[in-house]
Structure 1
Amino acid sequence: MNPNSAPLPSSFDENADFYNESRSQKLFRRIREEPLIPLGCGVTVWAIVGATRSMRKGDHKMTNLFFRRRLYAQAFTLAALVAGNLYWQKDRKKRKEYEKLVEEKERQEKRDRWLRELEMRDDEEKEFKARLARRIRGGDEEKEGNTKGVTEMVKDKVEETKKSIERK
């Protein structure tokens, strides 16, 4: 493996909050990362409002001037967007990889829980069949004077299974 192909270290590697953030936290983080984009959007809105006011006043010269400013502000915003996207691309890629790993880990944990549940049910069923076989052969339980019938054993087993499922 080429040692130069490894991804560069990120400033977010040790920051677990970077990977576990809400929508508002993400918005504020993105604004801090790329402050020129909201600035460009604000200037664009300012230019549109100025153009609207000058149109109402009937000042065609100022209207054209504000529309030119709007065009420049939009071009600036678009350039800031592209530059920011290129700059932060590696961290976004790393974030997607991390999210895939987290999803895979959760899927594996769910699968492991399901397998444990199946193993528990299998063990309970084997235990039940063994008790039933001992009961039918006249095993230890009858010798001790236990007079439960097979139907009562089945009812007890159903209740035990319900309780074990409720605990989970």
Structure 2
Amino acid sequence: MPAPQDSKLPSSFDDNQEFYETSRLTKLYRRITAEPLIPLGMALTVWALYRASRSIRAGTDRAYTNRMFRRRIYAQAFTVAAMVGGSYYYADEHRARKNREVKVAEAAAREKNRAWIRELEAREEERLELERERKKNKSS
């Protein structure tokens, strides 16, 4: 039985739900929950910089402005320390996750390759069946 002409060809993205479902917000949420100290340090840096700029605009309390600039520097140092510490702390976990992802991707690629070969074999069988039917119709 021949396949319909409008049948969908197999794609390399078939059965890859993460490709279709992962949004930027999902990725951002995953990164924030994985290492929450980095966004905290960034928020503290932004807050201190905002307060310092407001104090500069007001122009009244220079000591407060300098205190906010120092807090900004401390917050930036905290953020950098969180990044470096997190990279050391989570290094083994990241490596293990990468290895799992590679193994899963290899297994998925093998299965996708098998499915593609099955599809090609089925199409070849359909083509041969059509040729046999045409020869049969010509001979009768």
| Residue 62 of structure 1: how far off its partner (Å) | 2.1
Amino acid at match of 1:24: L
Identity, % of aligned positions:
47
Counterpart position of 2:43: 42
Counterpart position of 2:77: 75
Higher relative contact order (CA 8 A, sep 6+): 2
C-alpha distance 56-27 of structure 1, shift in aligned 2 (>3 A)? same
Amino acid at match of 1:119: E
Q: How does 1:13-162 map to 2 (within 5 A)?
A: 22=22, 23-58=24-59, 59-124=61-126, 125=128, 128-129=131-132, 132=135, 135=136, 148-150=137-139
Distance in structure 2 (CA, Å) of the matches to 1:103 and 1:33: 22
Moved more, 74-83 or 88-97: 88-97
Distance in structure 2 (CA, Å) of the matches to 1:95 and 1:121: 38
| Residue 90 of structure 1: how far off its partner (Å) | 1.6
| Residue 126 of structure 1: how far off its partner (Å) | 6.9
| Residue 121 of structure 1: how far off its partner (Å) | 3.9
Secondary structure, aligned partner of 2:112: helix
Unaligned runs of 5+ in 2: 1-17
Instruction: Give the TM-score normalised by structure 2.
Output: 0.66
| Residue 80 of structure 1: how far off its partner (Å) | 1.1
Instruction: Give the TM-score normalised by structure 1.
Output: 0.56
Distance in structure 2 (CA, Å) of the matches to 1:91 and 1:26: 18
Larger radius of gyration: 1
Distance in structure 1 (CA, Å) of the matches to 2:114 and 2:130: 22
Report the count of equivalent residues: 118
Secondary structure, aligned partner of 1:149: helix
RMSD of Structure 2 on Structure 1 (CA): 2.9
Counterpart position of 1:165: none
Distance in structure 2 (CA, Å) of the matches to 1:90 and 1:69: 33
List per-residue Cα deviations over 1:103-143 (Å, max 9, x = no partner). 222322222122223333444427844983xx5xxxxxxxx
List per-residue Cα deviations over 1:64-83 (Å, max 9, x = no partner). 22111100110011101111
